Structure 1
């Protein structure tokens, strides 16, 4: 049975820290729902109701566009090893970009990562666990370095050009304001 929480408990925090992958879901007021898998060392629990997610350059920038419109975000973690469990974090998020007042403080919480695009600062309204007993077992073999290698080859100027060409609007045409 599922259980709801009003905060991230120490047990939930420990579960989050043990996961190698998580999923981010956002949606505009009208248009496509975006659901993306995330990995790397890119998630931090700051308090019982605040988390950060370091986002790197990718093919789209849906989360930024959606959060500008309505702030809603769901993060999901699944246990693929040992005890079955699914955890969803429901909240409201905002984008932090390089040059923003809190950028230096927040970016220092993460390892240097090529292609870093923004940090999403998320206030958690509620959390929900469910059994996850139908989720198959998977073995973690390691992180992929493909995206980091690509970003390093692009360099800072190449990344900004990519943002100009590919990250200024969502697939539904909503602005992301990535270059502002």
Structure 2
């Protein structure tokens, strides 16, 4: 049986503003106030694992240990089948410039890599989200969500963040970048992981 979360204030171990806003919106109906890592002056720990759950655990446990509060961390990314699951856990790394992250550059690289291997259409992919809720005593709970779809080119839409403009979920003719966040949050990988979290930790 999962350990219940019984607070009304949750530390989310992320410095990603878009991700923080998305999680805050998804948890709003449950009366939970979300606080981000930047607001708590927490450093970003080095993500040294090669799995989503491994990196989410690093972030969640570091934040819980530093603050004495339960902490929720997300590690997420896009897996492209024709690229053997890349960029996967290295999704954000593909966007790293040294002065910040450039996701247009990352999406362009993804498209170029697909062209190099002459990937057939549809270029199937999925967004994955793994959430870890960690307590200061070292206990944690893990929740996962995925949404299947395909990579499209050129990029479409200016909403969302990350790889959203090149990902079209199955059953839709819009990319995540063309959807408003309310629509995206009904079906996204993170919404599905949050739904599992709510069912598991709110009873």
TM-score by length of 2: 0.31
TM-score by length of 1: 0.34
Please state which structure has a larger fraction of its residues in helix.
2
Q: Could you say which structure has the greater relative contact order, defined with CA pairs below 8 angstroms and 6 or more residues apart? A: 1
Please state which structure has a larger fraction of its residues in strand.
1
